[in-house]
Amino acid sequence: MNCPQCGALIGSDALYCSQCGAQATALSSPKAQPVQAQPTTPLTPGVSPPSQRTSALALASLVFGALSWMTLPVIGAVAFATVGLILGYVQLGLVFFAAVILLSVLILGIRLTGTSL
């Protein structure tokens, strides 16, 4: 570009003229405006992130769904194991109570028979 003061050739990045020392900001400022306008233009890149977020959410949902399907059998096995243990203890308890009841009935019968006799 040329210096606005003396017309000498100046580098595009130069802030001052090397010949007369005049500021080249008068010419550089019009070029700075398009640079400032560029950040506003990337609206199309701003539109793409939502699609990427939705894809990430979809992938996360798929991953969590797969994990839930993978963990369901384990949870079911643990639940069945706990239920089996509880049923086993309940059966032991029922057997214990049944034995106690039978013994009490036998003792009462023996006493009743002993008293009756």
Give me the residues that bind Zn ion (CB under 5 A), please: 3, 5-6, 8, 17, 19-20, 22
**Is 1 or 63 the residue whose CB approaches Zn ion more closely?**
1
Q: Rg of the chain over CA atoms, in angstroms?
A: 45
- Give the shortest CB-53-to-Zn ion separation in angstroms: 52
Q: Residues 17, 10: contact at Cβ < 8 Å?
A: yes
Q: Closer CB to Zn ion, residue 26 or residue 66? A: 26
Nearest 5°: the CA angle 73, 88, 99 is 170
Q: How far is the CB of 1 from Zn ion (least distance, A)?
A: 11
Closer by beta carbon to Zn ion, 9 or else 105: 9
> What's the closest the beta carbon of residue 13 comes to Zn ion, in angstroms?
15
Rounded Cα–Cα distance for residues 72 and 54 (Å) = 26
CA nearest to 74, candidates 82, 63, 64: 82
